[in-house]
Structure 1
């Protein structure tokens, strides 16, 4: 017997959406019960058609962002404590070539997040209107074009302009992909799929530095600096991915032409009967922000994003203080990400099986706090610091995807998920701005300020998660008392 797991939605003339809630575990659709479709085989078919291209798109987007950070920050990070071998640390010359001084490097990193945060909700609304294969491919294509252009900037102002438009183009990719994934799967299947997509971030972060280190050897080729080659090659690759995405990204279930009519109806029914003609209005956006739970979701994600971005910043710095070369440093950054990848996959499988999110969120946060405490207090043992780095990576990435999935899959239908994914990711990524100014070279070598900020963020995240869980319990109890359990659209815990 196949159980229906979401809600029916009806749009009223005034633009508001009325949800007719269906319990995840308590209501079965007769049409689904009578279907001869093999549900497991259909889910595998969806996995093959939906996830690989989204994964490739965000590997390209995050890789571009990561190698941009490497190119912009690497010289600034060479001014480290006495243990650094300066001849090995001086690698790329972007700050010198563009005559960056003072905090201009930080501003160049920061300006990316301004359009990235502001345009995420509008982007999801446009994606619903124009279809995912058009919108997402356009976003990644535009991202590649701007990245290519960044390889030819000649001044600080040109760098700021390209960084701004990179943020503008990428704004729709991450939240749009999670929005799309959430519409295709039931709640108890979702974290494993979210994690597969989330792993694109981990893989890009793990190998982005290695790629940048390899490209740095192209310095002077055809009269171009190595940092220019990074942007040019990454831009060309991303443009090619953008053209491919137009043909390979799938749309929402109701528009998926690669499914038969019976399969489309089955998919829509199993995830809650999402209606095709749902539209998103300004009234829906205002209604969304009347719920305190939606602010809590954004705060949870913000507080885990701060150490995620900071981790990308401070890991190479810590390793370099022990005198490793650039390539050795990048090689040492891979195992923490590999450990994070393994724990994320194990957690996703276990969490989906148990249909629980909250315990895994808290577990990840505890790991991260322990790791940060080690890094803050231990300064003369590379083994201990490296263990701390691994614990931080495992904790923040595990908690991050569990928080995102927990919140998004508690939202209902196209309207809430379109707004909610964009709001959570957009607000949360303001943590990237905080991280940019948390680990400054003036605080080297101990970075007490940066570690304190990250530990504080983790504690706020834990408190917000506990409060969100309490509100979820209250929400479920209220629905059961009002509508009866069979009609209740219960929140997961």
Structure 2
């Protein structure tokens, strides 16, 4: 298992650090003068954030269906290079139309519609690939390690932006342009390197012996399922089950606060009176706190073999944090604590939900459709998030916090319903079904 951990996880972690960093670094650029230089007015910055999610959502399931026709190293390395090129181009945009175009291409590249091929989105393909290497009760730690790349990207992005902020005027370019240029170049280099490091599915891993490949498939239960392509009939069958449908609603409820925080935390902090560098630095600690909590919960969850309790704990923290932000103003320490609770709660609940739902799906067919459904529908919450914090609502942003609170409540209700359906499936399992379900 250590051999698998070393070969599989580190490169996936680094790839998604780059992917998420490139996706949300516009939040740092907005505090550096992007809005002024491109003459953005009204809700135009929010539209620029939202347009990323249109191709990201629309092409998710089609790209998943073609998953088995290419190898993970081709999908992920190709997407990484494409994503980096689009990010690099964003550093040279001259107007609102150029910003919209590059943001749309970013979403398209991450969905996988890149140079005529289809690659799965980074976060989905990573979780999907990881799920075939580990069994039910050791997956949370590995999922959390991969998920924490998001938190590392958030924290590192703030630190990196605070340094790049001092590059204003270098080579005649404003500092916000250097954010996109430097991170885009780094992503392209990473994409090229990753082609040689990414592992495929167990049955294709050349660095395992034949006996080891059979062992991995047997211990994860995937030797029981026939490997075949996904058909339209499979998709219709999948959506007949309320249990399989509900997972996406649980995820949607935490995606809204996750992206709201990732995109707007620097803006919220800056509205409290801090300069650019101070704002970027103060955006780091909440990500670090969330990182520590996610890793701690991962080990305890795998040890206890329980998922729902920790999902509920994260949702509770998010609700408390949002309640603080909605009701307390003009007191930075308390408001900052609220931001930390929102980050800790939503990110820890998010990875718990993904692991809980994905590992309760069985076989390539069900897991391929289910992971695509969860990510594609769930990420429509990203579109909602981009319009939660509008400039006209500053500095209190009551509407934005209320929307996030409503979304978390949707996740709470869906979690309770999903848990009830899992209990029902577990009872049926005792009557002869092969698949097992975690609660």
> Which category describes the TM-score, using the shorter chain as reference length?
over 0.9
For residues 473 and 113 of structure 1, the distance between their equivalents in structure 2, rounded to whole angstroms, comes to 34
Q: For 1:272-291, list aligned pairs within 5 A.
A: 272-274=221-223, 277-291=227-241
Q: For 1:444-459, list aligned pairs within 5 A.
A: 444-459=394-409
For residues 304 and 177 of structure 1, the distance between their equivalents in structure 2, rounded to whole angstroms, comes to 19
Which residue does 2:83 correspond to in 1?
Answer: 143
For residues 50 and 424 of structure 1, the distance between their equivalents in structure 2, rounded to whole angstroms, comes to 23
Which residue does 2:25 correspond to in 1?
Answer: 67
Q: For 1:2-401, list aligned pairs within 5 A.
A: 43-71=1-29, 73-74=30-31, 91-92=32-33, 94-171=34-111, 172-274=121-223, 277-401=227-351
Distance 1:145 1:322, change over 3 A: closer
For residues 198 and 264 of structure 1, the distance between their equivalents in structure 2, rounded to whole angstroms, comes to 25
Task: Give the Å deviation of 1:347.
Answer: 0.6
Consecutive unaligned residues of structure 2, counting only runs of 5 or more, are 112-120
For residues 150 and 322 of structure 1, the distance between their equivalents in structure 2, rounded to whole angstroms, comes to 28
Which residue does 2:437 correspond to in 1?
Answer: 491
- CA contact under 8 A between 1:120 and 1:175: conserved in structure 2? no
For residues 20 and 2 of structure 2, the distance between their equivalents in structure 1, rounded to whole angstroms, comes to 26
- CA contact under 8 A between 1:311 and 1:393: conserved in structure 2? yes
- CA contact under 8 A between 2:139 and 2:302: conserved in structure 1? yes
Secondary structure of the 1:247 match is coil
Distance 1:319 1:107, change over 3 A: closer
- Count of residues in Structure 1 that have an aligned counterpart in Structure 2: 429
Which residue does 1:6 correspond to in 2?
Answer: none
Q: Which TM-score applies when normalising by structure 1?
A: 0.84
For residues 60 and 478 of structure 1, the distance between their equivalents in structure 2, rounded to whole angstroms, comes to 43
Secondary structure of the 1:184 match is coil
For residues 233-265 of structure 1, what are the alpha-carbon distances to aligned partners after superposition, in whole Å with 9 as ceiling and x for unaligned? 111111111111111000000000011111111
For residues 373-431 of structure 1, what are the alpha-carbon distances to aligned partners after superposition, in whole Å with 9 as ceiling and x for unaligned? 11111112212112111111111111110011100000001111112112111111111
- CA contact under 8 A between 1:378 and 1:385: conserved in structure 2? yes
Distance 1:293 1:111, change over 3 A: same
Distance 1:258 1:276, change over 3 A: farther
For residues 363 and 169 of structure 2, the distance between their equivalents in structure 1, rounded to whole angstroms, comes to 53
- CA contact under 8 A between 1:126 and 1:135: conserved in structure 2? no
Which residue does 2:115 correspond to in 1?
Answer: none
Task: Give the Å deviation of 1:224.
Answer: 2.3
Q: 1:422 aligns with which of 372, 375, 383?
A: 372
- CA contact under 8 A between 2:162 and 2:281: conserved in structure 1? no
For residues 128-167 of structure 1, what are the alpha-carbon distances to aligned partners after superposition, in whole Å with 9 as ceiling and x for unaligned? 2101111111111111111112222222222211111100
For residues 437 and 185 of structure 1, the distance between their equivalents in structure 2, rounded to whole angstroms, comes to 38
For residues 127 and 117 of structure 1, the distance between their equivalents in structure 2, rounded to whole angstroms, comes to 16
Asked which structure has the greater CA Rg, the reply is 1
CA RMSD across the alignment: 1.5
Secondary structure of the 1:491 match is coil
Consecutive unaligned residues of structure 1, counting only runs of 5 or more, are 1-42, 75-90
Distance 1:317 1:220, change over 3 A: closer
| More deviation, 120-129/337-346 | 120-129
For residues 268-303 of structure 1, what are the alpha-carbon distances to aligned partners after superposition, in whole Å with 9 as ceiling and x for unaligned? 111113468422222222221222122210000001
Distance 1:321 1:163, change over 3 A: closer
For residues 273 and 190 of structure 2, the distance between their equivalents in structure 1, rounded to whole angstroms, comes to 38
Secondary structure of the 1:380 match is coil
Q: Which TM-score applies when normalising by structure 2?
A: 0.94
Which residue does 1:13 correspond to in 2?
Answer: none
For residues 298 and 204 of structure 1, the distance between their equivalents in structure 2, rounded to whole angstroms, comes to 24
Which residue does 1:36 correspond to in 2?
Answer: none
For residues 15 and 229 of structure 2, the distance between their equivalents in structure 1, rounded to whole angstroms, comes to 26
Secondary structure of the 1:210 match is helix
- CA contact under 8 A between 2:158 and 2:284: conserved in structure 1? no
Which residue does 1:412 correspond to in 2?
Answer: 362
Secondary structure of the 2:430 match is helix
